[in-house]
Every structure is written in structure tokens, then in C-alpha cells.
Amino acid sequence: MKVNIYYGGRGLLDDPTLYVLNKMEEVLQELRVTVERINIYEHKNEIATLPQTMKDADGIILATTIEWLGIGGYMQQFLDACWLYGDKEKIKTTYMQPIVMSTTYGEREGELTLQSAWEILGGQPCPGLCGYVEDLVSFEMNKDYTVLIEKKAENLYRTISQKVKCLPTSNQAVKQTILRTPQLELTPQESEQLSKYVSDDTYVKKQKEDIEELATMFKGMLGKSEKEDEEAYIETFRAQFAPQPEFRARYLFIIEGRKKPLFLEVNEGELTIHYGQEENIDVYAKLKTEVMDSIVDGRMTFQRAFMTGEMTAKGNFKILRMLDTMFNFAH
């Protein structure tokens, strides 16, 4: 039989959880159980790979210390890794005993958190141990406490060896019927490989750099596309402009699919053209991109587009008819 201990505290000398774990290890070793302790804080850069260490374990102990609020960041990260990268089939058959000691308030809530988390993961929780320790020396000297700790270790051994079954819990029901958090459907081998990639800082850094490079590239492409949109038709109109003496007019083309309208102003021999809203317009014209393309390609005139209804216009129609005179795209 093998039992893994995952310690989620900070490893402080006066941590009461360490004393409890040492006592439990002694009892389990006397019962010829192979015990492996994993201090999560020593693997903080590779927590994602720790669920893979449960492969050959019959049971585990999740131990942490409540120092101010909650089970602590290391233990929470470990549970997150179990949810994301753990072998769920293995977890289903693995017994877990929570050990939560507190130097402040909240040891019962911490124990309940670990039990609930393991149930949601699909594992088999065992009765745990929690307690408040005000003075470590008096706690260690109390023989009654030592007996309680040893009994808990023996109970874990019996539970695993006898493969004691647990009654169904609502946590499992919630997971099956309500929980909508998507899980990665991975084989144990894929989970192990993915967890290694996640914990590999070099790999993660390279992936981030690649993503940033792609993002920059697409931003550049998007910026280029937007710039091209801002310049569409402008050079064509400039090239085909035929000035008309003593003629002044302001046009606004609303082209479907473009964010801004195309403004065109003729002041005798000068042509002003750009995208954007303007005031005091003589002619408003609305048309589709395909219609404007046909006009600038010489396949259609403004007059024909208006007569066939492919372009709608509002304003001075005499000024509208001048468009084909000033811009002869057909030749």
C-alpha cells in the first residue's frame, strides 16, 4: 500500500500541520505503508505536474494550515491542477483524507473545502482531522491529541485496505447535472503531457511570445486593411476628375459595408475627397459597394444607377447629373 501526502503549507518550523503529519507517517510506516510526502511549496513552478504523482498511490492525504483565510494558494493550485490535468479515472479510486490545522479561525471550513473538492473531482473522501492550535508546544505534549492523530492514521489504513464504500453525495449530483464548466477530454497520457507543458516555463514563455507575434501580425494586417478602406476609390476619383468652370458642389456617398461615408467636394478646378461626415451637403447618395465598384470600373454611370434604383439620392438632381460629366470612368 502507498499513501502520498500533499502538504500545502509554507513549511514553517512552528506549523502544527507538520507535527501531525510526522505522527501519521510514523503510524503508517509501522503498518508497512509506503509514504511519500510532497511539499507543494517546493514544486511551486511545476504544480501542474503533481497530479501525475498519484498514479501508484492507493490513498492520499491533503494537508494544509489555515493561517488567515482559506486553505492557502498552494493547495488551491494543486486542486485546480487535479481538475484540469488529473487522471479522473485514477482519482475515482483514490481515497483522500483531509488534514487541516489552524492558528486562526476556519479549520472546519478548510476541511470541508478539501472534502467537497475531492468529491467534485470524483474521488473518495475519508473522515479527516482538523483542529485549532494556539500553542504548538502544549499541543505536542498533549498525549490525548497524539492518540487522536494516530487513530486517524489507522482509520485511513483500514479504509484503504478494506476499500470502504462511500454513500453518494450531492456534490457528485451537482457535477453531473448542473456544473457547466468545460473539462478537457484527455487520455491519462495526454493529461500528463499537457501538465508538463504547462509547468515548463520555457515552453509557456515561448507560446506567449508566439501568440504575441501572431497578434502583432494580425493587428498589422487589420491596420493595413483599415488603411486600404480609408483610401478606397479616392485615387480613382482624383485620376478621372474633369474640372468644370464655375461649378461648386458637395456630395456625400453612403456606401453600404463601410463605416464612414465618402465626402466629395468640387470647387471649380479643385477636388476635395475623403471619408467622414460633413455638413451642408448638396446631394446625398446611397449605394452598395458592388454598385460603386461597377461605376468606377466604367460598367455603369451614376445616372444609370440612379434610374435603375441601384443608387438612391436626395438633393439637387441637376448637381447629381454633373457627376458623370466630371467623372467619366468609361473611357
Residue ranges of alpha helices (H) inside the chain are 16-30, 73-85, 88-92, 107-121, 136-141, 143-161, 170-177, 188-199, 201-231, 234-240, 289-296, 302-307, 317-326
The CA-atom distances, in angstroms, between 107 and each of 56, 71, 102, 267 are: 29, 9, 5, 83
Question: Has residue 156 got a pLDDT over 90?
Answer: yes
**Residues 139, 45 share a domain:** yes
Is residue 300 a part of any domain in this protein?
yes
Same domain, yes or no, for 77 and 226?
no
CA angle 120, 126, 129 (to 5 degrees): 110
Residues 29 and 170 occupy one common structural domain? yes
Same domain, 147 and 254: no
**Is 100 inside a domain boundary?**
yes
Residue length, the chain? 331
123 within domain boundaries: yes
- Domain with residue 88: its CATH number is 3.40.50.360
Same domain? For 116 and 210 the reply is no
Same domain, 148 and 257: no
If asked whether residues 65 and 144 sit together in one domain, one would say yes
User: Which run of H or E residues covers position 274?
Assistant: strand 270-275
Amino acid at 21: L
- Whether pTM > 0.85 for this model: the answer is no
Range of the domain at 207: 202-230
Q: How many whole angstroms separate alpha carbon 227 and alpha carbon 81? A: 45
On whether residue 53 sits in a domain, the answer given is: yes
Could you tell me the sign of the dihedral formed by the alpha carbons of 152, 119, 16, 23, in that order?
Answer: positive
Residues 207 and 274 in one domain: no
pLDDT tens figures, 251-310: 999 999 888 899 999 998 899 999 999 999 999 999 999 999 999 999 999 999 999 999
Task: Give me the pLDDT at residue 154, please.
Answer: 96
The 10 Å Cβ neighbour count of residue 222 is 10
Q: How far apart are CA 130 and CA 133, in angstroms?
A: 10
Same domain? 169 vs 219:
no
pLDDT at 214: 80
Please report, for the domain that includes residue 257, its CATH number.
Answer: 3.30.1050.10
Cβ burial, residue 304 (10 Å; 0-12/13-18/19+): middle
- Same domain, residue pair 99 and 147: yes
Q: Are residues 147 and 117 in the same domain?
A: yes
Domain-located, residue 141: yes
pLDDT single digits (tens) 37-50: 999 999 988 899 99
Are 221 and 101 in the same domain?
Answer: no
Res 210 pLDDT > 60: yes
Counting the structural domains of the chain, the total is: 3
| Residue at 331 is within a domain | no
**Quick check: is 289 in a domain?**
yes
- Residues 282 and 284: their CA atoms lie apart, in Å, by 7
